[in-house]
């Protein structure tokens, strides 16, 4: 599927059970999101450019490699915040820039409410973090904004995506790489992913869910 990677791994399957189960406690849900974010993050960064560097161990000089790209994390508020800490553990020098988008419940379209990206200083690579890629509307706004900022390479990391959302990202942004733990088949009448996991933001932050 072009630049779309649906990651196949036993641990991803295991932790997806936790986030999908409606009775999972918020603390366990957050922990599972953390673990899934790490697993997706490892795959999403496996081809970052590196350069050789020599370091001195207690015993001798060792030939190593360091990432050369300037990488930024761009969580989509608010659910994307749940993926930031695990990615910072992998990329401790990454900058974090926030984009605030909320879902209009009547139209299911994203509405932008927060954007503090500067006019210059765009990173080489931006990792857009959003646990759920449903219609693809939020990702479309985020990618367009990052392109306007001057980001050279954009990668989207999600836990669960809908097939419709994936196809929209592929169609509109064929150069954007997408990494997901699972692709679900359909959206319901309210544009929620089915079977999905419900509202990721509500479950991460333990706020009331509709219904």
What residue ranges of the chain have pLDDT lower than 70? 1-2, 102-108, 209-211
Sign, CA torsion 34/35/38/44: negative
Which residues touch 14 (CB under 8 Å, ≥6 apart)?
A: none
Annotated catalytic residues are 103, 107, 199, 202
Residue carrying the six token digits 């697993």: 39
Per-residue pLDDT tens for 112-136?
Answer: 778 888 888 899 999 999 999 999 9
Q: Distance between CA atoms of 191 and 156, rounded to whole angstroms?
A: 20
Look at residue 207 and give its three-state secondary structure: coil
Q: Provide the residue ranges of all domains of the chain, joining segments of one domain with +.
A: 8-49+61-205
Q: Distance between CA atoms of 201 and 148, rounded to whole angstroms?
A: 27
pLDDT value of position 130: 96
pLDDT value of position 99: 87
Q: Distance between CA atoms of 51 and 162, rounded to whole angstroms?
A: 37
Q: Distance between CA atoms of 169 and 155, rounded to whole angstroms?
A: 11
By the 10 Å C-beta count (0-12 exposed, 13-18 middle, 19+ buried), 72 is classed as buried
Architecture of the domain made up of 8-49+61-205: 3-Layer(aba) Sandwich (3.40)
User: Nearest to residue 48, comparing CAs of 207, 180, 179?
Assistant: 179
């Amino acid at each position: 599927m072009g630049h779309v990677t649906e990651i196949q791994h036993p641990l991803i399957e295991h932790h997806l059970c936790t986030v999908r189960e409606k009775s999972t406690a918020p603390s366990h849900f957050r922990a599972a999101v953390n673990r899934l974010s790490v697993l997706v993050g490892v795959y999403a960064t496996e081809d970052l450019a590196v350069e050789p560097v020599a370091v001195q161990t207690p015993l001798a000089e060792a030939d190593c490699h360091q990432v050369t790209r300037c990488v930024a994390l761009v969580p989509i508020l608010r659910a994307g915040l749940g993926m930031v800490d695990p990615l910072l553990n992998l990329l401790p020098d990454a900058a974090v820039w926030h984009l605030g988008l909320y879902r209009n419940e009547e139209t299911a379209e994203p509405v932008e409410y927060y954007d503090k990206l500067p006019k210059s200083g765009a990173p080489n690579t931006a990792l857009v973090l959003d646990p759920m890629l449903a219609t693809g509307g939020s990702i479309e706004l985020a990618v367009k904004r990052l392109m306007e900022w001057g980001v050279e390479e954009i990668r989207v990391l999600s836990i669960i995506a809908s097939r419709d959302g994936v196809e929209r990202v592929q169609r509109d942004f064929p150069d954007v790489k997408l990494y997901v733990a699972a692709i679900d088949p359909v959206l319901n009448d309210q544009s929620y992913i089915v079977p999905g996991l419900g509202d990721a933001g509500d479950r991460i932050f333990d706020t009331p869910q509709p219904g």
